[in-house]
Structure 1
């Protein structure tokens, strides 16, 4: 079991934070809240789950069987919304909305920076987005600056 935090590259003191209070059974729209944390605490720590289909899921270490969820239904692939869109929250259990593909960003020759985009499996071409200035985590249809993350190993 690998424990990770999702750190913004643009704002290195900002992390994806999941509050799964009240999320105990699967619901159509998910629940809880996902926003920006300024340190790596328990709400910012996830178990990295490797799924059989080659995707990964991010499972809360605090809330039992609660996963990071991305709904990109209202964001088109390739669409670059000024404030992002869609819904990022929590879900009990892991289905297509809770599965992700990790896209490695190309490195400069001779360097490794470990920058990735976290792409939705359920909504291909839609990426997790963290805007620290606005305090929001949401969805974007492109992989640009606010969609760049480092997946930090914080424990095992």
Structure 2
């Protein structure tokens, strides 16, 4: 059962998964290998995975400003999802741009506004650093689990509710 806005307030440390609404059984994957201290440009790899294992589990952390950050639940402690929308083309279609990777600790690039959608999913907007930049995931060709994942995760301009910008949040099994 997908998590609702109400569920997010009472989730605690329960690990969650972030699943694409557009690509069946495709999940956001975060590999924080080597990310052990803060680095301005971040590091590691964020892409897609078919099915959900340890790299696809996150802790959702509410922030004082109403935004949320996503920490690796167990595989990479204190490593967070990072979105850099610098250079993102101001168009609402096409291949997107920017950089999505990992960061040690949660600063402005690691904070997201979660926009609920009519179908129960959410779109993730940069909370403060890059207004109107949304998390985008393209899982084309991701049809089986692989060690390194696949697909593309980047940013899209002004794409609240777009097909590649909507995600189902579930408690991880």
Residues of 1 paired with 2:41 and 2:132: CA distance? 20
| TM-score (norm: length of structure 1) | 0.90
Pick aligned residue for 2:132 from 120, 125, 129: 125
Gaps of 5+ in 2: 1-12, 142-150
Pick aligned residue for 2:78 from 53, 65, 90: 65
Superposed displacement of residue 115, structure 1: 1.4
1:30 equivalent in structure 2: 42
The CA deviation string for residues 71-110 of structure 1, in whole angstroms up to 9 with x for no partner, is: 001115x5224111100000000000000000012x2xxx
2:170 equivalent in structure 1: 152
Q: Could you say which structure has the higher strand fraction?
A: 1
Kindly report which structure 2 residues correspond to 1:2-41, keeping only aligned pairs within 5 A, or say none.
Answer: 2-41=14-53
Q: Tell me how many residue pairs correspond in the alignment.
A: 148
Gaps of 5+ in 1: 108-112
| TM-score (norm: length of structure 2) | 0.81
Residues of 1 paired with 2:80 and 2:137: CA distance? 17
Residues of 2 paired with 1:84 and 1:12: CA distance? 21
